[in-house]
Chains A and B, each alone.
Chain A
């Protein structure tokens, strides 16, 4: 098993380098650069061309492309992720400001959605075509059909208009002030968690229904086992493989894909940071964030594979 894990981690490296190279080349093709934006032309302001050239030289944008890329790559090999062209701050510092918030939202949204989705999905399956099933299906379709950001906007508007209250604007880590942290993050967690729960709920329902039609489950019923025993011991574990896959994929998405939710709730997270970096053409930041996202996706897939092995003893890795 350890050999398998090490092999997977090593295979990550060419994937990450490939992703970074693709992004770097794409950013060269896209018009505009960070120097133009720093000089305020995004404000519609005047652009002094002489100053523009000086700034481009300062930022190293006049170096050959291969030199820019390999210089960055060499830095990565030494765990130096470079400096933001926009802010001048180390990229790792910029990441570190935003990572805890994004991680917390992603983690709690995943946990809450899992805790809601699996029981409700299972209940809907074992009570198929009853009012419980219909209710769960309506709730899950609502979660799939309504964009998370729209739910977020409605929540914020409701709070602002009827209570003249909005969540705190500054992130306080959970371990420093749990109540302040809760006030800020509960709404985005619930909003995103609802959407994720909807996905997992539907998957759980359909996989449980499928497994319940298997011969061994019918045998269990025939033996006179209690419903709880049949569902929990024989059905659930065997239904979880696709559900775990979905949950893993959704978690990976949350680690950088919550741009609009972060905008709605004014969260200083990785999603809006990566969008800002793209809009600013801040190449070192974009490349590092892509690396991080790719790492999270690959790592999440690895965890999912390991969970498979735990759920299904027939699976083993070398």
Chain B
């Protein structure tokens, strides 16, 4: 009798174990609940077109739709959002979008192509008094037309391989024409969109509250009742808010040590993701200041860095852990390992690199090194930690760099005024890291080229890169451009950043993407039972 009972029990357990994964995999979305997010600061205003910070993109992403967007579940594919479909002319000069019908704004008014045109005209051709911070990304767009209520046509100056990705930038919210017509700054203080959530309340310095849009045009969405963003300026306080369960997630990323603390405390109640952000921290060189006008000196500074050791040392502290050139090392634009190691400072024999660095400095007239100043921002992670490593590395070749730490506003001014010799200088992408977005920094005369160097080969290649529609040819041009900049070390790459996003294990149907700007709509995210 006992043997039969045991056999039956085993059989039941086996059935249970077999069925459990199937049940979890087929988990049904659960409606309801308030999703709570820790946010690092206030949006300066609510108008994403005029702002440059994730502190707008994250809380207001759920309030709007874009024309096209990056697929939240299949990065980096681009899918239609308000656009149902689109066609591209054979010469790549005309993009025709067909829009969804029956879409309404939160005030009940109907969405049409006129709203898309008005929003994009504001981005591309901002009226007097309006800022459009990303306008330069769309220089290829000539005009936007709305021939009928559900069609929008974008006409281009020239073919642009990056334009669709740029248009899918999360910041390109579609606003209502009628409000833009009444006051071009309307959206600085108001939020009326077509998105899955509506703005319910905003207390500056405290919280932003969104509520479900029951009339959302995507059927049966959203699942959540609302989203609440708590403004918590201190990084450690944000981590503690996750640990205590006050919030479900921190979308920008926590330092590795804080993330570790959260995971240790919450165990399987928390999940960590390590998206490889498209952000690099490197060093800008003011090439008008001696001795940095000498290519040998610039190369020596790069040769003095053991980037592989740097990744191991500063990576656990800062998330700066991936060695690469000017394009993300995991992307199709990256240099191969052989190509990379041929560049100054990327070879694996660090002792040989140090010898070469000293030889170059002696040849340039600095056999005993020299003194310089590395200007930096007073933010520990990763600016200060990275700079400490850089300075200690340069000491090995006799370059004594004074670490001049400046408060953020001062550092910003220093960058723009070029009042530096060496400058810790990050750059990156909020989307997919297209060469048009990342490599303009290394072009003569562009505002982000803080060192003001000029490499004609790079300039010529960039112009072609912006127009080349054949991807293989474009990839080669991108690689050549990287080499042209780095062979003369006009800018010293540091490391690429991996961010750590820790979230509650209750969150379902959500995958973090490389950039903390991306996948913030949350229209099909739900919360499992506690």
* Residues in A lying within 8 Å of B, measured CB to CB: 30-33, 36-49, 51-52, 54-55, 58, 86-89, 94, 97-98, 156-157, 159-161, 164-166, 168-171, 263-264, 266, 268, 272-273, 276, 279-281
Contact = CB atoms under 8 A, between A and B. Distances in A.
Given A97-B206, A263-B233, 7 more contacts: A37-B412, A46-B427, A52-B416, A54-B129, A170-B230, A263-B237, A268-B205
Contacts of A156: 237, 240
Contacts of A58: 129, 131
Interface stretch (B1-9, B24-32, B51-59, B364-372): B51-59
Contacts of B113: none
Nearest to B416: A47
Contacts of A279: 407-409
Nearest to B237: A266
For the complex of A and B, 7 pairs with smallest distance between CB atoms: A40-B52, A32-B409, A44-B426, A166-B244, A268-B205, A41-B412, A31-B413
Interface of B: 42, 44-45, 51-54, 129, 131-133, 135-136, 188-189, 203-207, 230-234, 237, 240-241, 243-247, 265, 279, 377, 407-416, 425-428, 441, 447-448
Contacts of A89: 189, 204
A97 to B, nearest CB: 6
B234 A263 contact: yes
Given A37-B412, A54-B131, A166 B246 contact: yes
Contact of A160 (B136, B232, B240): B240
A156 B52 CA distance: 33
Q: Report whether over half of chain B's contact residues are helix, strand or loop; otherwise say mixed.
A: mixed
A55 B128 CA distance: 10
B412 A51 contact: no
Contacts of A87: 42, 44-45, 204
16 contacts: A31-B409, A31-B410, A37-B408, A44-B279, A44-B377, A48-B135, A48-B447, A55-B131, A58-B129, A87-B42, A157-B240, A159-B244, A164-B265, A166-B244, A169-B207, A170-B230
Contact of B416 (A41, A55, A97): A41
A51 B133 contact: yes
Interface centre among A32, A54, A55, A164, by most chain B C-beta atoms within 10 angstroms, is A32
A161 B265 contact: yes
B34 to A, nearest CB: 12
Interface centre among A46, A52, A58, A98, by most chain B C-beta atoms within 10 angstroms, is A46
Contacts of B377: 44
A89 B185 CA distance: 13
A45 B448 CA distance: 9
Contact of B52 (A39, A169, A266, A276): A39
Nearest to A57: B129
Contacts of A40: 51-53, 133
Given A42-B409, A47-B416, A58-B131, A88 B188 contact: yes
A157 B258 CA distance: 13
B51 A169 contact: no
A164 B412 contact: no
B479 to A, nearest CB: 23
Contacts of B240: 156-157, 160, 166
A97 B132 CA distance: 30
A47 B246 contact: no
A266 B40 CA distance: 11
Given A40-B133, A161-B265, A47 B412 contact: yes
B203 A97 contact: yes
Contacts of B131: 38-39, 51, 54-55, 58
A272 B413 contact: no
Given A44-B427, A46-B447, A97 B205 contact: yes
Nearest to B426: A44
A48 B410 CA distance: 17
B56 to A, nearest CB: 10
A38 B51 contact: yes
A249 to B, nearest CB: 27
Contact of B232 (A39, A169, A280): A169
Nearest to A49: B447
Given A38-B51, A38-B52, A48-B136, A266 B232 contact: yes
B237 A43 contact: no
Contacts of A169: 206-207, 230, 232, 241, 246-247
Contacts of B415: 41, 47
A188 to B, nearest CB: 13
Contacts of B54: 43
Given A36-B409, A37-B408, A272 B233 contact: yes
B279 to A, nearest CB: 8
A159 B447 CA distance: 48
B447 A160 contact: no
Contacts of A159: 244
